[in-house]
Amino acid sequence: MNITDRTSLKEIDTAYSSLEKTIKESHASFYPYFQRHGKRYKHNAQLVSRYYKKGPVLDMGCYPPHFAILLKTLGYPVQGVDLNPDRCRHLAERFALDVIGWDIERSPLPFGNEAFEFVIFSEVFEHLHRDPLFALSEVNRIMTTGGTLLLTTPNIYAIQRVVRFLSGKSFNDPIFEFEKLRSTGHMGHIREYAPIEIRRFLVMINFRLIKRYFRHYYFPVSIKGLCTRVLFSVLPPFFRTYQIIVAEKMGPGPGYNPLRLG
């Protein structure tokens, strides 16, 4: 594929189907997660195609590396970073995907200034519990001015979270989220954000918001899934589960140093 051209939906579907077959046959333990997030992967691939201009791509916090592999299959020069890539090393190696192990909240990223034209920060921000400002500052540092950031994160005002709150519960189950440290090797959703909060983070780090989307991708085949589909069809997009932000780096950010908390 010539990556200077826009990737067609057919190309994305073909690459996705091929990856799905491989995961189902050879990496079955990841298959349920892959299925659940398939529509999100394909939508994000469409956005990369729409906004990608040139140069290397960094996928930060890429576990499991399904989306980075999909982009690599489509011809994008993608590099991954993850807290513990050994959790999925066999899958990355099968597709010759380079994934560097790194704690993005504790240490400066191992890349030079303005090394990447396009950075993906997908379903990571809600997991950060130590220093998200430093992590975003590093995103700014390693990106070229005028480069593109694709940031996706849950929307704290998704209708199902509002219903939980109104019924006397937290927006998320804290026990479930902390237990992920043992079951997956990383923190669960320690904090989810309102759209206006994400905008403030980006402005602070010297990004300009280009476009925001609200989406819900997964509807289980059940009464609950049917009710959810009907509910999202009548509510404004603001109440959907995911917020997807495309932003442009305007110039150098605040240049934070990592915190020394022990």
* d(C-alpha 248, C-alpha 206), whole Å: 9
Q: Domain boundaries in the chain?
A: 9-153+191-249
Query: What's the token pair of residue 196?
Result: 């206006």
Q: What is the pLDDT of residues 230-247, one digit of tens each?
A: 999 999 999 999 999 999
Q: How confident is the model at residue 262 (pLDDT cuts 50, 70, 90)?
A: low
pLDDT digits (tens, 9 = 90+) for 131-166: 999 999 999 999 999 999 999 999 999 999 999 899
107-130 pLDDT, tens digit per residue, is 999 999 999 999 999 999 999 999
- Whole-model pTM: value is 0.94
- Percent of the chain at pLDDT > 90 equals 84
pLDDT tier for residue 172 given thresholds of 50, 70 and 90: confident
The pair of three-digit structure tokens given for residue 184, joined into one six-digit string: 């997956």
pLDDT in tens, 85-108: 999 899 999 999 999 999 999 999
pLDDT band at 5 (very low <50, low <70, confident <90, very high): low
Does pLDDT of 210 surpass 80? Answer: yes
Provide the CATH number for the domain formed by 9-153+191-249 in this structure: 3.40.50.150
What confidence category does residue 3 fall into, taking pLDDT thresholds of 50, 70 and 90?
low
What pLDDT is attached to residue 1?
A: 43
CA distance 148 to 34: 25
Q: 214 - beta bridge partners?
A: 243
For range 58-76, the mean pLDDT: 97
